[in-house]
Amino acid sequence: MLQDMTKKVKSEGERDEELFEKYMCYCKSGAGQLQMTIDAATTKIPQVESSIKEGESSQTQLKADLVQHKADRADAKAAIAAATAIRTKEAATYGQDSSDFKQNIAAMGKAIAALEKGATGFLQTSAASLVRKLSVEMDLSNIDRDVISSFLSQKASYAPQGGEITGILKQMLETMEGDLADCTKTEEEAKANFDALVSAKETEIAANTKAIELKTVREGEVAVEIVNMKEDLDDTSKALAEDQKFLADMQTTCKTRQAEYEVVVATRAEELTALSETIKLLNDDDALDLFKKTLPGSSFLQIKVTSKVLKNLALQALHTSKGKDSRLDLISLALRGKKVNFDKVVAMIDDMVALLGKEQKDDTNKKAYCESQLDKTDDQQKVLKQTISDLSKAIEDAQERIATLKEEIAALTKGIADLDKQVKEATETRQEENSQFTDNMANNNAAKELIGMAKNRMNKFYNPKMYKAPPKRELSEEERIAVNMGGTAPPTPAPGGIGGTGITGALLVQDAPAPPPEAVGAYKKKGEESTGVIAMMDLLTAEVDKEMQEFETDEKNAQEEYEQFMKDSADKRALDSASLADKESAKANTEGELDHLTGEKTGKEGESMAKAEEIAALHQECDWLMSNFESRVAARTGEIDSLKKAKAVLSGADFSLLQTRHAVHLHHF
């Protein structure tokens, strides 16, 4: 029996060592995983806090940019309004001045025509009044002004004075025509400048409006990102606190289990020593001879009781584990003809001047158009490129957030799976411990009861006064009827159990040795030995009671630790599950945002390519004109000047006018 007890103690030691190693492996791996989660959260928190500060700084900058864009747009609108007011005044002034010039030119033309026809009564006409007025207002030489004043001061009977006055008036007419042309040119330039200014400001307004729209959207996105990051920070902080608490509880529990295991190992070693020494003692030949000689009736009882007590001492503790114009040649050819009609040539010159003027105007308009369109398309392309750049950055940010969320979701999913595994292992271990506790308590109760019966049996022999008789058997109704009718009660069935005592348990009993030979003489009771045996039984009972109290305390502590572990695990799982749901929702939202940004970027890139083709077409259409505009203006101006000089020569070469001028000169001589 003692050898079986020794084998059982060693077997339980091996089982306890396996359970202890399993629990320590759980402590090491669980603590390592928790520490990795804590380290990751400790590293992540300042990064998220930094990201929140960057997001808030970006949000502040976006708000400031929006204020500036709105102010710039308002300034551009105010500039257009101011330029429009100035342009309106300039247009009104030009309208009045050009009207005056045209009236004066028309009147001067009539006056010259009247003088050339030699009309009488000219000085009484309204044309003479206009000439008088213009002679005062226009910038003339003193000689010409005196000639006109002298002419206008004559009496009503006017006789034509020849071509001198007409020549002066023609010169005045030409001056007025030149002034009208200059005035018109200035008006056209002012109008072109106004159009260019308005175009530039409208482009600026459009760019600012686009920037406002984009940055307003971006500000909203940043605000959402900040809220998500703050929620993430809060979840991570809570998870960190929970993990730290869980780790602290685990470390405490693991230290307690290790200390308990050390006590169990020491106690088991002591028990094995006791068993070994007891076996050695009981197997000694001299001891056996002595028992046969001195305790012939009680040696079996003592050995039997001692074996049962030693087996009851084998109770276990609890354990868990991111060149020149060719058209001039035609006029030259006309002038080289033998019969020259100056009127036709002059008409050709006038037509040529008008044509050149129209070409110049077309070139000017085309140049203004090219400049305006190039500026406009270039500004639009810049806006598109900036938008694409902003979208690329937003896409990168979204991709980084998705990658981070995927990592965090994977970590949370793994953490929850590991936690569930730990809970399962802890539950299995708790069940094993509770089963062992139940067995131990059953065995201890059986041992106590058995020792009590053995003690009572010994008292019956050695101390009859302390003997307690078994309770009287209660007869059943049928049995009582049988007895009353003169029959006998049926025999009491054997109790069975250990040694026929009715006690069941995990204890084993060795077969009794052969009875000793019959002794000579009367049997003498060994009172002193029986007293020692009974005292030893009382001591064993007290030790069993003490051990049962320790089992109950260990079971209570193990159950409390298990319940605390289950509560901490449930709290951590609920927190991790909520955090996992938040991150999966944030990931889905960010993926939707990424799809939207990617589609918008693709659209903007298509617009940018189309705009680049438009700009290339404009350059192909406009570059030659833009680079040769000044030389064309200079060449055309030279041609017009040459044509005007030719016309002036032809006008002064008229035969009638030369004859008249010659007659005037003879008269003066």
Burial grade of 70 (CB within 10 A; 0-12, 13-18, 19 or more): middle
The pLDDT, as a whole number, for residue 311 is 31
The pLDDT, as a whole number, for residue 454 is 74
DSSP, collapsed to helix, strand or coil, labels residue 487 as coil
Gap between the Cα atoms of 300 and 513, Å rounded? 7
Of 85, 48, 211, 177, residue with least CA distance to 586? 48
CB 580 within 8 A of CB 441: no
DSSP, collapsed to helix, strand or coil, labels residue 113 as helix
Gap between the Cα atoms of 557 and 318, Å rounded? 10
154 φ/ψ angles, rounded to the nearest 5 degrees = -65, 170
Helix intervals (H) in 327-341:
327-335
- Three-state SS string across 213-267, please? HHHHHHHHHHHHHHHHHHHHHHHHHHHHHHHHHHHHHHHHHHHHHHHHHHHHHHH
Gap between the Cα atoms of 279 and 277, Å rounded? 5
pLDDT in tens, 187-220: 899 999 999 999 898 998 999 999 899 889 888 8
| Helix, strand, coil percentages for the chain (3-state, nearest 5) | 85, 0, 15
Structure tokens that stand for 234 in this block: 């809060």
The pLDDT, as a whole number, for residue 119 is 52
Low-confidence stretches of the chain (pLDDT < 70) are 1-2, 118-128, 132, 135-137, 139, 148-150, 152-163, 275, 278-279, 281-282, 284, 286-342, 345, 458, 461-462, 472-533, 649-669
The pLDDT, as a whole number, for residue 75 is 93
Report domain extents, the chain.
Answer: 2-256+259-263+329-422+577-668
Q: Can you list the positions of beta strands (E) in 297-414? A: none
Structure tokens that stand for 496 in this block: 């069975």
Structure tokens that stand for 552 in this block: 């109950």
**How many percent of the chain have pLDDT more than 70?**
71
The pLDDT, as a whole number, for residue 124 is 58
Q: Report the C-alpha dihedral over residues 364, 368, 371, 372, rounded to 10 degrees.
A: -170
The pLDDT, as a whole number, for residue 486 is 61
The string of DSSP codes covering 428-466 is: HHHHHHHHHHHHHHHHHHHHHHHHHHHHHHHHHHH-GGG
CB 536 within 8 A of CB 313: no
Burial grade of 607 (CB within 10 A; 0-12, 13-18, 19 or more): middle
**Residue whose pair of structure tokens reads 């009287």 in the numeric block:** 472
Of 624, 561, 587, 60, residue with least CA distance to 318? 561
CB 315 within 8 A of CB 547: yes
Q: Look up the pTM and report it.
A: 0.45
pLDDT in tens, 577-602: 998 899 889 889 988 988 998 998 89
The pLDDT, as a whole number, for residue 611 is 83
Q: Report the C-alpha dihedral over residues 161, 166, 169, 173, rounded to 10 degrees.
A: 160
Gap between the Cα atoms of 209 and 243, Å rounded? 50
CB 274 within 8 A of CB 313: yes
- The count of C-alpha atoms lying within 13 angstroms of the C-alpha of 34, restricted to the half-sphere facing its C-beta, is 23
The pLDDT, as a whole number, for residue 423 is 87
The pLDDT, as a whole number, for residue 309 is 36
Number of neighbours of residue 59 by Cβ within 10 angstroms: 18
Gap between the Cα atoms of 274 and 255, Å rounded? 28
Query: Which amino acid, 470?
Result: P
- The distance between the two most distant Cα atoms of the chain, rounded to a whole number of Å, is 208
The pLDDT, as a whole number, for residue 467 is 74
